[in-house]
Structure 1
């Protein structure tokens, strides 16, 4: 167990090192590398990671509160049962990352790459996904109430039995989605019908 408080790291390479069970408080990491790093059960609070590389990193059971991961690379990272509470993840890439059991409590996930992500049955209420790439993502039975999905890429996404009540869905093409059993507001239903060519009086 180790603890870093108010530390600043710039271009530091932590690749393949053992950083498990650490506690990071108000630390800043700029363009640091964590490729293949063991970071299981690490906790961060009020930290900021800018353009950091977490490719293949092990972040299982890690917990993050009000931290920012801006334009970071999480390709093939293991985030099994990790938790992000009120975090800013804008522009980060989660290609082929292991997201099973992940918990997102609100936060800003705008402009992230979550293509083919498995977020089925997740509580995603109030999460911002503005212009996020959710192509082919599994959102079946997900709770998306009051989520911000404006201009998100949802082509071939599975939204069956999801709850979209109160969600912002401007710019979404419903024709490309699987929506069977999804719960929607009246306004959503009207928008859906318009996309299909219906005239609403």
Structure 2
């Protein structure tokens, strides 16, 4: 696996439009538009507010990355497969994205938008979903038992076979404006 380390692409130009089996460590990215990333690892990178229009993310892993405000719904849908570990995904947009079987581990996902996304059979481990939006989202088979601060309307999302702790059921009843003691 080739490595690119400590690069600030707000100053340098990312010259390739296709990266396969690359590791990016401690890099800053303002724009990934039109670039294909296949079997790549981003570690300790700042990708916040980066443009990703027509980018391909196939078998890509993000570890300890800041991805605040990234609009993944603008990236290519074909073969989209990503794993996120210890990442900040605040206000990231996954609208209409097919993310089934994706992995999100130990992530902060405040205010993210999962409207009409397919998250079926995805893995969320120790994630914080404060103010995240789930609307017409496919959450079938998702395990939320180690995650927190989600508010999911069961009448407008598919939660079939999803797993929740009984102590977190209030997150499924927010819509009804009831008081639970």
Give 1:100 shift.
4.0
Q: Which residue of 2 aligns with 1:27?
A: 2
The C-alpha deviation readout for 1:42-80, integer Å capped at 9, x for no partner, is 1100011111122x2x21111100011111111232111
**Unaligned ranges ≥5, structure 1:** 1-25
TM-score (norm 1): 0.73
Q: Count how many residue pairs are aligned between Structure 1 and Structure 2.
A: 169
CA separation of 1:103/1:147 partners in 2, compared to 1, >3 Å: closer, same or farther?
farther
**Aligned residue in 2 for 1:81:** 54
Higher alpha-carbon Rg: 1
Q: Could you say which residue in structure 2 is the equivalent of 1:196?
A: 170
How far apart, in 1, do the equivalents of 2:72 and 2:161 lie? 32
1:66 matched to 2:32: no
Distance (whole Å) between structure 1 residues aligned to residue 160 and residue 73 of structure 2: 29
Aligned pair 1:118/2:93, yes or no? yes
- Asked if 1:159 corresponds to 2:134, the answer is yes
Structure 2: state its 5+ residue gaps: 172-181
Local SS of the residue matching 2:4 = strand
Larger RCO of the pair (alpha carbons < 8 Å, separation 6+): 2
In structure 2, the CA distance between the partners of 1:159 and 1:119, relative to structure 1 (3 Å rule), is same
- Give the direction of change, closer, same or farther, for the CA distance of 1:186–1:108 in structure 2 (3 Å limit): closer
Task: For residue 37 of structure 1, report the CA deviation from its aligned partner.
Answer: 4.5
Q: Of the candidates 151, 156, 159, which is equivalent to residue 177 of structure 1?
A: 151
RMSD (Å) for aligned C-alpha atoms: 2.6
User: Contact 1:116 / 1:135 at 8 angstroms: preserved in 2?
Assistant: yes
The reply on whether 1:134 has 2:76 as its aligned counterpart is: no
- Which ranges of 4 or more aligned residues in structure 1 deviate by more than 3 Å? 36-41, 96-100, 190-194
Q: Does 1:96 align with 2:69?
A: yes
